[in-house]
Amino acid sequence: IIFLYIYSRVNKESSDMGIVPLNMFRYAAIIRHIKRERYISMERLVKEVANDMALSGFEGGFSKRTLQRDLQKIRADLDLSINFSKLEGGYYIPNDEMQDGLLESLLEHINLLSALRTVENVSDFVFAEKREAQGMEWVYPLVRAIKSQRMVEFNYRKYTGGSGGRRKVEPYALKEFNGRWYLLSGEPGVPGGVKTWGLDRMTDLRVLDEKFRHLEEDSITREFRDCFGIYSDHDKEVEEVVLSFSPLGGHYNASRPLHESQEVLVDNDQEYRIRLRLKITWDFIIELLSQSDNMTVIAPQHLKDTLADVYRRALKRMGE
């Protein structure tokens, strides 16, 4: 819930909502209705948002002036283009911004929190995963540093043991994977392209006055387009992977595809088979291991051999 954390730090508008700020609720409602009804008129948008607020127990209504103010904040703070078409007489979001993953995550969490807002003793029947998100205190300063193109430095602890020392980097973006957040950055004078740092392993982060030049637009997206997980692995080539699932495993996979390149080859009562084109990273191998009870690797052979070797070593450890 990275956006909610950021807005809890920068939000200056008071709210009685308790769980999610009132202005964030309005932003989500505005975006949702514009996505749902392309070229929605101002009058209809005001009416729909006001209805949403009333259904969720908010008082005070919603005016055209508030809408205009909220649209400015959405454009500035969420970096989302909401335009007005004079020809069609309504608001719309450009097609290339309609499928923004982080925006969808924001809307999903706000809708959930809003639905739970008025329910008493919700913890008796809604069970969230009990996992403390470490390193989230660095989200706000990192977002500010990224937007202002200012370098940062921090102490870093490696999982392999020992200290990673004091690092000075150019922050490019934040990336979430498996409930953890990572900083994607460049490190001046150190080759290897974009580097990944776990926020949970940072201490004493400082935003510096020193400026840096951003990468080309969409370069980070291109960097990770063919990857699964948090490492881009420059030395690896994109490969074709073919996986076969049992019907049960296929249902799970269909509801949560492994990668955007995923293509369904077979889907029947006996088998669910897919083809992907991506770099075979360790994160990808770990994901396949988690689904291996209902999955078989068809190709490539070296991926099949890698998983088999992991199984053999695991069996040996358990037999010791």
Contact 191/128 with Cβ under 8 angstroms? no
Segment 176-181 mean pLDDT: 84
Which of 109-113, 132-136, 161-165, 236-240 has the highest average model confidence (pLDDT)? 236-240
Segment 135-161 mean pLDDT: 88
Segment 113-140 mean pLDDT: 68
Decide which of 127 and 278 is more confident.
Answer: 278
pLDDT of residue 172: 92
Q: Does the structure show a pLDDT above 60 at 12?
A: no
Segment 70-75 mean pLDDT: 91
Contact 236/279 with Cβ under 8 angstroms? yes
Paired sense of beta strands 195-198 and 202-211, if any? unpaired
Contact 135/202 with Cβ under 8 angstroms? yes
Segment 141-164 mean pLDDT: 85
- What burial class does residue 261 get, using C-beta atoms within 10 Å of its C-beta: 0-12 exposed, 13-18 middle, 19+ buried? middle
**Which candidate, 58, 62, 23, 59, places its Cα nearest to that of 45?**
62
pLDDT of residue 133: 66
Which of 8-22, 74-88, 123-137 has the highest average model confidence (pLDDT)? 74-88
Give residue-wise pLDDT tens across range 180-197.
889 999 888 776 678 899
Distance CA 114, CA 29 (A): 11
Contact 182/230 with Cβ under 8 angstroms? yes
pLDDT of residue 118: 56
pLDDT of residue 130: 64
Q: Which residues contact 247 (CB under 8 A, 6 or more apart)?
A: 269, 270, 271, 272
Place of tokens 């921090």: 154
Q: Does the structure show a pLDDT above 80 at 176?
A: yes
Give residue-wise pLDDT tens across range 219-275.
788 888 899 988 888 788 999 999 999 999 999 999 999 999 999 999 999 999 999
* 137-151, 157-171, 206-220, 244-258: segment of lowest average pLDDT: 157-171
Segment 66-87 mean pLDDT: 90
Residue ranges of domains in the chain, CATH in brackets: 2-119 (1.10.10), 136-216 (2.30.30), 239-319 (3.30.70)
Say how many CA atoms lie within 13 Å of 310 toward its Cβ: 13
pLDDT of residue 47: 95
Contact 166/154 with Cβ under 8 angstroms? yes
pLDDT of residue 232: 82
Instruction: Print the SS3 string covering the chain.
Output: CHHHHHHHHHCCCCCCCCCCCHHHHHHHHHHHHHHHCCCECHHHHHHHHHHHHHHCCCCCCCCHHHHHHHHHHHHHHCCCCCEEECCCCEEECCHHHCCCHHHHHHHHHHHHHHHHCCCCCHHHCCCCCCCCCCCHHHHHHHHHHHHHCEEEEEEEECCCCCEEEEEEEEEEEEEEECCEEEEEEECCCCCCCCEEEEHHHEEEEEEEEEECCCCCCCHHHHHHCCCCCCCCCCCCCCEEEEEEECHHHHHHHHHCCCCCCCEEEEECCCCEEEEEEECCCHHHHHHHHHCHHHEEEEECHHHHHHHHHHHHHHHHHHHC
Q: Does the structure show a pLDDT above 60 at 29?
A: yes
pLDDT of residue 14: 38
pLDDT of residue 179: 78
Paired sense of beta strands 202-211 and 239-245, if any? unpaired
